[in-house]
Amino acid sequence: MSGILPIAVPAGIALLSAVLGFYQWRRTQAATKQLEQEKLQHQRDVLAWEKEKLALTREGEREQAEQAAKAERAREIEQARRSERDRVRTARRESTTDAELAREYRKTLARQLKSVKILDMSRPLDLEEVYVQLAVREQPGRFAREREVRRLAEDDPGDHLLGPAPERQPISTVHPDEALRRHQRIVVLGDPGSGKTTMLRHLALREARHGAEPPVYVELRKFVDSGVADLMSYVEHVLAEDYRFDGAARFLDESFTRGGAALLLDGLDEVLGGATAEAAAAEYDRIVDDVDRIAVRHPNLLIAVTCRRAGWRPALSSFTTLEVVDFTWEHIGQFVDNWFKDQPVRGRQLKQALSENLRMQALATNPLVLSLIAIVFERELELPERRAELYNRCAEVMLREWDAHRGIRRFGKFTTDRKRDLLQEVAWRFHLMGKRYFPEAELLGVIADYLPTIGIPAGENEAILAEIAAQYGLLKEQAHGWYGFLHLTVQEYFAAVSAAARGGDCVDHVVRHRHDPWWEEVLVLQAGLLPDATGLLREVLGWRGRRRREDDVLRGDLVLAAQCLVGTPRIEDASLRAEIIAEVRNALVKAPSPFHRERAAAALVGIGTSDSTAAARDLLFDLGVPQEVRAAVVLAYCGSSDERARRDVDRLLAEGIGRHGEEVVGAALKAASDAGRITSVAPLVKIFQEAESVGLRGIAATDIAAIGDWSAVPVPRDEVERLAGAMTLLTGNPVVTVSAESAPDVLTRADVHWSAKWWCVRSLDREVVPREVFERLYERADVDERTRIALATALTLRGEARFAPDLVDAIRRAIVPPVVVVADLGNSRLLGPRELWTWICQALHSVGDKSVFPHLLDLLEQEVRGQSSSAYNLSIVIQAAAVFGEDALCRKILDMASADAEVLYSVPDWSAAITPTTVPAAVGALEAHDTRLIKPHVVVEVFRNLGRVARDARSARWVWRASAGQGRWVSRQGFQALHAICRRGRFRLFPDGRVEDLPI
């Protein structure tokens, strides 16, 4: 065994090695075979991919070939179409004259210009139906006079709280078409939304229809976007492509050379786009150079360019710079009438709503904002109950939507939201300082403080200010180095938003100054912005724990709290709203004067909740409630768009005087007339027959005559017409509607009273009729002498000093009498308007002519010697002489009143001599006489004139005492004057005679 073992072991090892080697060989063989198979499969896959790639390539080449063939066929078709079009054009050119092409161009252009769409309106408007003729004025200096703005910036803000923007340099206004023909080259500047584009479109439309040559209207933004090298090439391209005006280049050259053609270029400021400020400026300069070249090449061409005032960079040296004039109240009324042409009742309701809100009126002088107000009123059948909502909408339109809707892009350094935040910061800071206008240096400081809070260097403040002023118009330069918001309303709104967002001390500050006119609107707006107005309202009402402060003689705390409820603020203490409504109702019933009563009624109706409306209606139809209280509720309904209020008024008219009394029915008649809902003569005839007062019968007669349905009038027509005519003249309204076109016929009619012709001329004067119209009328031989004086007065107010001698002579020789008797009613006479001499003196004063003044002084001396014909005549003389504002005259009149009790007691207009400097002397004279002996109409004039200028506690106390025990008409005027004096003097008067100054 031991011998076998050494042999067996090596043999086993060898066998094992052989087995392992064979196994390894078999594995290698299998791996090699697998590798060969994979290699072969890869070769097959590569071959298949190559085949597929080749197929795809061939398919792509085939598709490319097909596409190339299609493109070639398309090119051939287009070439054929182009050739056919060229052939047609050539044929048409051979058969059509340039005059025929021009006529077609005129028609197409007029059709395009006729429709306008504002913001997101669902329907376009007819430009000819809605357009209100704007006026423009020359700009010898770019802005308001600096000294005027500086004075306003330093004045007591209450003095110009609701006043207009600072007076511009006095200069006449003209219509744009007249200005274009007078100056030939004009640049018309205006704020955003001031109506520049609409004005230019209307001018283009008129030229397209009536001009000697067809006009060219160009939106400069579209020219820039087109990429065309120069303006004339763009115009030629547009006329050829869009209007199929073949040979446009030749025709334009001939038309521009002949003269009479107009090139109207809209939106020079709208080219200020681009990625950088430098690019925007370069684009602006390029277009200015283009316009200059066209002006030099065509000296007979009329050219008008529009531009935002802040975006204007003085250029175009051969052009006259003009500015658009804001809408007047007459313009606003005409615009609303045009807008609601098919809904006249709605139009009258909107005008009534605007007439009762001076702040909204101020905003409505901007045509874009007025359009927005009309859109909101048309859609929602009322204006938003929360004024803040409307103001917010206006701000959004100015900041975002106006440019966006027209596809205008402007270069900007930061977002619109940040700009809004900045405007709120500016409004709050300067409202705290009591500044309506502020120096540029102070404004830049405020902006510099704000910018780092949003990651922008303070040094960018000048660029940011320039951007905001140029692009949005909410904050603008008012004079060189002086800025202000578009209107005080805008500043108040942004200040209220800022205070509500800041909360705490800022809200407390506003509440503490609640009776300061400067903060009153901010408080009312803020009430609707707070998450809970409970604390604010309790502060306004004077609650201190369980004790409440005494209110002033005007019930200022209660009225202000009620005004805060108009915006339906959120009040967690629900009982507080009911408490205020109940207290207002009680104040209405127990009001000591018509002034208190009417304020309380307006507050109760204005709150607009179901509870307040129910309280007002309960009073209205409770026959046990005094007529004057119920009448006050009816008058508060005036302008209301609420259907129930309208039904209530109709019910009062139907039930008549026998049930409700003259005062209530008279108020209902006024409410219905203001709403334009008097369409039947039946209730009017009933009032005419039942009423005892001449005034109410006259109003009914006027409405009957306006309807003209005499078949349903059972009373003598001549009686109605006589009283209606007397009332129309008494109120200073023309008997007939007059326009520049109808004036020659109206002013030469023998059946129109001469004083009515005067008021026709005054209505033309208010409508900014061109000077030439008045001159042509003045030269007509068939115009009577008194009417000619009226025309001379209108011309003098337009700077024509050559007519001044005629006006002086008219007063010296009494060609125009101081008093006009418009109707003799047997036991009384209706005396017409007393402003005729005053209007003449205003015209003389406007041209610096005071030569009539000595004559007026002589008339006063005659009164002193007892030689005047009547106190009424003397009153007219005083009123006219007071126009000149001579301090010596004012003191002479006051001396006369002090020395002669009969003058103080009986002459209505001696108080016209009350000026800021003569208030102490006037009040002294009044205190020295028995107020009870002063005739009521004289007391009313004293109240009015003290209310116009006084600001001291002594005047306020005298007015308060003098109002006690007076009739309702006199008392109303007294408390209105007291309200004005306290607001101006910034103090409150309490029932015990105590005066409390408002916080500074």
Residue 276 resides in a domain: yes
Q: Do 178 and 301 reside in the same domain of the chain? A: yes
Identify which of 640, 636, 596 has the alpha carbon closest to the alpha carbon of residue 615: 636
CB-based contact 607:581 (threshold 8 Å): yes
Identify which of 715, 702, 781, 777 has the alpha carbon closest to the alpha carbon of residue 747: 777
Residues facing residue 219 across a β-bridge? 266
Q: Do 307 and 166 reside in the same domain of the chain? A: yes
Expressed in percent and rounded to 5, the helix, strand and coil fractions of the chain are 65, 5, 30
Q: Do 431 and 487 reside in the same domain of the chain? A: yes
Q: Do 315 and 166 reside in the same domain of the chain? A: yes
Residue 22 resides in a domain: no
Final residue in a domain of this structure, among 682, 708, 731: 731
Q: Do 298 and 347 reside in the same domain of the chain? A: no
Q: What is the pLDDT of residue 831?
A: 41
Q: Do 284 and 373 reside in the same domain of the chain? A: no
Q: What is the Cα 724 distance to its own chain's centre?
A: 34
Q: What is the pLDDT of residue 263?
A: 94
CB-based contact 468:484 (threshold 8 Å): no
DSSP 910: G
Q: Do 689 and 599 reside in the same domain of the chain? A: yes
Q: Do 155 and 271 reside in the same domain of the chain? A: yes
- Per-residue buried b or exposed e for 507-532, using 16+ beta carbons within 10 Å of the residue's own CB: beebbebbbbbbbbbbbbbbbbbbee
3-state secondary structure of 565: helix
Structural domain total, the chain: 4
Q: Do 361 and 492 reside in the same domain of the chain? A: no
Q: What is the pLDDT of residue 769?
A: 65
CB-based contact 344:333 (threshold 8 Å): no
Q: What is the pLDDT of residue 953?
A: 95
Q: Do 618 and 663 reside in the same domain of the chain? A: yes
Positions of the chain with pLDDT lower than 50, given as ranges: 1, 91, 94-95, 140-146, 154-159, 161-171, 403-408, 410-411, 729-736, 822-833, 867-870
Residue 822 resides in a domain: no
DSSP 709: -
The position carrying tokens 């697998």 is 34
Final residue in a domain of this structure, among 496, 530, 564: 530
Q: How confident is the prediction for the chain on average, in pLDDT?
A: 79
pLDDT tens across 231-286, in order? 999 988 888 888 878 777 888 888 898 888 999 999 887 776 555 667 777 888 88
Identify which of 277, 269, 279 has the alpha carbon closest to the alpha carbon of residue 311: 269
Q: What is the pLDDT of residue 675?
A: 65
pLDDT tens across 637-655, in order? 775 656 787 788 888 888 8
Q: Do 235 and 215 reside in the same domain of the chain? A: yes
Residues facing residue 306 across a β-bridge? 188
Residue 159 resides in a domain: yes
CA distance 605 to 640: 9
Q: What is the pLDDT of residue 97?
A: 67
CB-based contact 509:995 (threshold 8 Å): no
> Exposed, middle or buried, 132 (CB in 10 Å: 0-12/13-18/19+)?
buried
Final residue in a domain of this structure, among 703, 731, 759: 731
Half-sphere exposure of 159 (CA within 13 A, CB side): 13
Q: Domain range holding 223?
A: 99-325
Q: Do 615 and 726 reside in the same domain of the chain? A: yes
CA distance 770 to 860: 37
Q: What is the pLDDT of residue 756?
A: 75
